[in-house]
Structure 1
Amino acid sequence: MNYQEDQLTKAFEQLVQERRSVRVYDQEEPFDHDAVQRSLEKAVLSPNSSNMQLWEFYRIKDNTLKDKIGQYCMRQKAATTARELVVVVVRPDLWKKRQQANVTQMEKVTAHLDAKARKRAMSYYTSLIPKLYGKNDKLGISSFVKRIIASWIGWKKPMVREVGRSDVRVTVHKSAALASMTFMYAMKAEGYDTCPMEGFDSKRVKKVLGLPSAAEICMIIGCGKGAEGGVYSERFRIDNEEVIFTK
């Protein structure tokens, strides 16, 4: 390991160790709202399924709106004392728009390939993605059919089994969660604290933000400079031996 790699390792170790879910924020400390923007711009560089980027991030800076959403977060102090809130939203309904963006990009990066190789590369977005994200009816019939097809193919060769509507929902939330973690590490690198929250009235938050019915809130993140007592206890984790396995 060279000097630069050693410094990066130490810096990341410090971020991981110092990042905590801070539930009370200092109201007197100066807060750089631009740090939130910079951190979100890093968050969108996070890995995500098929590069579909079916996420949105809503910055809540207005005090009146922030107070209202704080109430919808069950009055958690991590929300009511936050200097800014970030609402992480997934948008599976935008799959066609994101698909087309990827198709346009793929046309550029495959331009040097022969026709056969280009068609094979493009088929991922022109054929597979519509089958996965499209035709997911509310009754779940299409999901059932897709699972049957996946199981049938899986008899003969390895096959992805998570192809139904609920599976796609899990996929987009996982991608948004990856971006959320990147955001929280970036905020820590900026010198600020965060707290991801799942306890909120999603229906009311969606309404106040004017989100469509197909949108879902992944989490709401409180941001600020931690106040004294903002970390409620020492960090507790199950022993590594109980969760890390080598085969």
Structure 2
Amino acid sequence: MSSVRAAADAFRKLAKSRHSCRRFQPNRPLPKEMLNDMLQTTLTSPSGFNIQPTNVIILQNQDIKQELAKTSMLGAGNIYRTIDSSAVAVFLSDLQPHKRLQRIIELEKESGVRSKDYLSTLPIVTSFLMGEGKVATLMKQVATDAMSPVKPMPTIDSIQAWSYKNTALVAQTFTFAATSHGLSTCLMEGYDCRRVRDVLKIPDRYDIPLMCGVGYEYEEDEKVGKTPRLKMNEVFFSDTFGKPIDTDITVVVEDTGDSPK
């Protein structure tokens, strides 16, 4: 039990210490061993059917970062964070995930974790749930809506929405992995996707939902105040929507001085 509590305390401290970095120290590259460990941890992110529809460009070349900042980033904050950060992780969502399926099946067979029956039905199941294109999505939505009153049916999202959800999990894991090494991060959405695609030579097959600057935080004279969070009972419900959850239990932890931003 003590090991479970210790793990919970460690993760709580990690999660609370993560915050959005306002300013990075320039000219501080990441040690290769540190970056490699972060990426290995990021690979553990969950994904639907284990399809892993995400690629990540780790941008460290200063000339390319300068070009990206100058041509593609929106707002002064994103511009100088792109330039000054040790690296920028550019997260890509695959809009044609069926092209990954054969590789995933090969990996599953090698691992021996999945049954043969599961692997034999995987192409059929994924082709229905991850149908690509607006027409295919609309047809499946009509079919599932018609059948839903009779039996439970899956919710059909667009391939973009499905892939974005999976990529967001990867981005979150990446931020925690970086934080565990004492680094700071800043997730960024303010950029011109078309221009980013041109600078980084990204194929049309991929969307660019998120970037994340990572590096060493610049120590300012005055600490930036923490950004507020909604109260637990404004976010979490008990059993049904709107039913208050019991929030009277107090979790006693050591005050580390860290706060989310």
TM-score by length of 2: 0.81
Which of 226, 232, 240 aligns to 1:240? It is 232
1:236 corresponds to which letter in structure 2? P
| DSSP 3-state at the match of 1:151 | helix
Please name the residue that 2:119 is paired with: 122
Which of 190, 204, 216 aligns to 1:199? It is 190
For residues 126 and 195 of structure 2, what CA distance do their matches in structure 1 show? 32
Unaligned segments of structure 2, at least 5 residues:
240-261
Report the alpha carbon displacement of residue 143 of structure 1 after superposing the two structures with TM: 2.0
* Stretch of structure 1 that moved more, 18-27 or 33-42: 33-42
Q: Does 1:91 align with 2:94?
A: yes
For residues 55 and 175 of structure 1, what CA distance do their matches in structure 2 show? 7
**Structure 1 contact 20–231 (Cα < 8 Å) conserved:** no
Which of 208, 213, 233 aligns to 1:217? It is 208
For residues 110 and 11 of structure 1, what CA distance do their matches in structure 2 show? 30
For residues 29 and 152 of structure 1, what CA distance do their matches in structure 2 show? 57
Residues 60, 29 of structure 1: CA spacing in aligned structure 2 closer, same or farther, 3 A cutoff?
A: closer
Report the alpha carbon displacement of residue 123 of structure 1 after superposing the two structures with TM: 4.3
Residues 223, 98 of structure 1: CA spacing in aligned structure 2 closer, same or farther, 3 A cutoff?
A: same
Runs of 4+ aligned residues of structure 1 deviating over 6 Å after TM superposition are none
User: Could you report, residue by residue, the CA deviation over 1:37-58 in whole angstroms, capped at 9, with x for unpaired residues?
Assistant: 3212211111111111110010
Instruction: Report 1:151-190 matches (<5 A).
Output: 151-163=145-157, 166=158, 168-190=159-181
For residues 65 and 27 of structure 1, what CA distance do their matches in structure 2 show? 15
Number of matched pairs: 233
For residues 129 and 45 of structure 2, what CA distance do their matches in structure 1 show? 22
For residues 215 and 78 of structure 1, what CA distance do their matches in structure 2 show? 24
Please name the residue that 2:67 is paired with: 68
For residues 38 and 171 of structure 1, what CA distance do their matches in structure 2 show? 27
User: Could you report, residue by residue, the CA deviation over 1:55-77 in whole angstroms, capped at 9, with x for unpaired residues?
Assistant: 00101111000112223222423
Report the alpha carbon displacement of residue 131 of structure 1 after superposing the two structures with TM: 2.6
Please name the residue that 2:129 is paired with: 132
1:56 corresponds to which letter in structure 2? N
For residues 63 and 106 of structure 1, what CA distance do their matches in structure 2 show? 38
For residues 216 and 107 of structure 2, what CA distance do their matches in structure 1 show? 40
Report the alpha carbon displacement of residue 231 of structure 1 after superposing the two structures with TM: 6.4
Report the alpha carbon displacement of residue 130 of structure 1 after superposing the two structures with TM: 1.9
1:224 corresponds to which letter in structure 2? G
CA RMSD, Structure 1 to Structure 2 (Å): 2.2
Residues 204, 34 of structure 1: CA spacing in aligned structure 2 closer, same or farther, 3 A cutoff?
A: farther
Please name the residue that 2:6 is paired with: 7
Unaligned segments of structure 1, at least 5 residues:
none
Residues 87, 48 of structure 1: CA spacing in aligned structure 2 closer, same or farther, 3 A cutoff?
A: same
Higher helix share: 1
Report the alpha carbon displacement of residue 33 of structure 1 after superposing the two structures with TM: 4.4
**Structure 1 contact 21–195 (Cα < 8 Å) conserved:** yes
For residues 144 and 28 of structure 1, what CA distance do their matches in structure 2 show? 49
